Amino acid sequence: MTATADLPISDGLLLDADAQDLLFRQARTANAFTDEPVTDEQIAAIFELVKWAPTSMNTQPLRVVVVRSTDAKARLLPHLSEGNRAKTAAAPATAVLAADLDFHEELPRIFPHFPGAKDLFAGDEEARARTAELNAGLQVGYAIIGIRAAGLAAGPMTGFDADAIAREFFPDGRHHVLVAINMGKPAENAWMDRLPRLPFDDVLSIH
Is 24 within the bounds of a domain?
Answer: no
Higher per-residue pLDDT: 197 or 8: 197
Q: Identify whether the C-beta of residue 30 lies closer than 8 Å to the C-beta of residue 154.
A: yes
Task: Please say if the pLDDT value at position 200 is more than 50.
Answer: yes
How many angstroms separate the CA atoms of 65 and 155, rounded? Answer: 16
Is residue 190, in this structure, part of any structural domain at all? Answer: no
Number of separate domains in the chain: 1
Task: Work out the mean pLDDT of the chain and round it to a whole number.
Answer: 94
Q: Is position 78 within any domain? A: yes
Task: Using only the alpha carbons of the chain, give its radius of gyration.
Answer: 19
CATH number at residue 117: 3.40.109.10
Domain extent at residue 55: 29-185
pTM summary value: 0.92
Q: pLDDT tens digits for 91-133? A: 999 999 999 999 999 999 999 999 999 999 998 999 999 999 9
More confidently predicted of 11 and 83: 83
**Phi/psi-derived region of residue 35, left when phi > 0, alpha when psi is between -120 and 50, beta in every other case:** alpha
Q: pLDDT category, 74, cuts 50, 70, 90? A: very high
Residue 9 within a domain: no
Determine the pLDDT at residue 139: 98
CA 73 to the chain's CA centroid: 19
DSSP-assigned letters across all residues of 11-33: TTBSS-HHHHIIIIIS--B-S-B
Across-strand partners of 175?
A: 100
